[in-house]
Amino acid sequence: MTFDPRVVRAFAGTRKRSAVLACAAMLLLSASGTAAAAQTAAPKAVVVIPKGAVEVHLAPSSSSTDDSCDPTASLAPQSTMPIPGNMPQGSYMAQILARGYIEVGVDQNTYLWGYRDPATGDLTGFDVDMLQQVSQAIFGSPGHIDYVIVPNKLRAQYVQSGKVDILAETMTITCAREKLVDFSTVYYEAGQRILVPSNSDITGKQDLNGKRVCAPNGSTSLQNLANLREHIQLWEVDNETDCLVMLQQGQVDAISTDDTILQGLAAQDPNTKLVGQTFSSEPYGMAISKAHPDFTRFVNGVLAQVRADGTWASIYDSNLSAATGTSAPPPPPASYR
Ligand code: GLU
């Protein structure tokens, strides 16, 4: 999370002042000789709202449930996959190969999916591993990647503007987003749930009426909550870890976003629990510019291989099994248009 620098400055200011106060207290103590005089007020914990956290008022809308398109049907792969290191002339993959690396968009604080391992400093997680498969298929090895950390609400924009070639960031394929970018076939099926403190009485979405609920901005999660038509006090934040801080500080009663993300937050705080059934469908796709349909087809070829040869299952097992308590289910099937 990020803190408001003004609060940090205010802290720095009070430190000097409290040093002066402490000297004054000692003088008083030696003058009066009583312990009572030394009873200065106990320091109060300053509770900070994460920077960027705001309460929002969203009207119900069909944008997250829009079924005007078949959002998960993607472009079919080429009939044969090129050999790594030898991309077809004139293809977007050949441009990437010549450049020497893929520019990829990820998150760095979605534990289990796209996060920076504090021990190694490396980005890791399910999304990162999927992107490494694309590097493997173009270059013959996984490391040819330049990572760009993309804020949630700018995911489509970074892809559209060409700042990244491809983005894997727990991004739900929707008809509204499909107007802006192309998506690969589905590489994971998530669904929205609820995370609460272990001692909470909330057991599902029916209990959210009148409650303060946090979700990341730029996410389908916020709109899904608004669509419940309950009187929910919605808080949006820049990063889902900010939601966890707000839950820990008692500033919200629940967090509601994808089960995948909540499993990562629960793994970081044993005093929380996931409750209720999933109440939305969040199929994840890798986002690619509409200007490069050959690259979308290629990535779908990579995903077809990854599903078929057991790589998808081993990526699931190494990233998610400990948190979900299950070994890999069958990967989501591909659908082509
Ligand atoms: N899957 C949801 C979305 O794409 C939530 C993702 C997130 O908050 O990282 O909006």
Is the pLDDT confidence value at 94 over 90?
yes
Phi, psi of 256 (to 5 degrees): -135, 115
Distance 215 CA to ligand 1 centre (A): 9
Is the pLDDT confidence value at 34 over 80?
no
Is the pLDDT confidence value at 12 over 90?
no
Residue nearest atom 4 in ligand 1 by C-alpha distance: 171
Pocket test for ligand 1, best of 149, 150, 221, 281 (most atoms within 8 A of CB): 221
- Strand ranges in 93-167 using DSSP code E only, listed in sequence order: 102-106, 109-110, 114-116, 123-124, 145-149, 166-167
The number of beta carbons lying within 10 Å of the beta carbon of residue 153 is 13
| Dihedral in degrees, nearest 10, Cα atoms 167, 172, 174, 178 | 0
The number of beta carbons lying within 10 Å of the beta carbon of residue 43 is 8
Confidence of residue 61 (pLDDT cuts 50, 70, 90): confident
The pLDDT of residue 23: 35
- Average confidence (pLDDT) over 57-72: 80
Q: List Cβ<8 Å contacts ≥24 apart for 93-100.
A: 93/138, 93/294, 93/295, 93/298, 96/138, 96/165, 96/295, 97/138, 97/139, 100/144
Pocket test for ligand 1, best of 170, 193, 195, 234 (most atoms within 8 A of CB): 170
The pLDDT of residue 40: 65
Atom number of ligand 1 nearest to Cα 257: 5
Distance 178 CA to ligand 1 centre (A): 15
Distance 78 CA to ligand 1 centre (A): 29
Cβ 236 under 6 angstroms from ligand 1:
no
Average of per-residue pLDDT values in the chain:
89
Residues forming beta bridges with residue 124, ordered by sequence position: 115
Residue type, 153: K
Residue nearest atom 3 in ligand 1 by C-alpha distance: 219
Structure-token pair, residue 135: 């590097």
pTM here? Answer: 0.86
Structure-token pair, residue 240: 């889902």
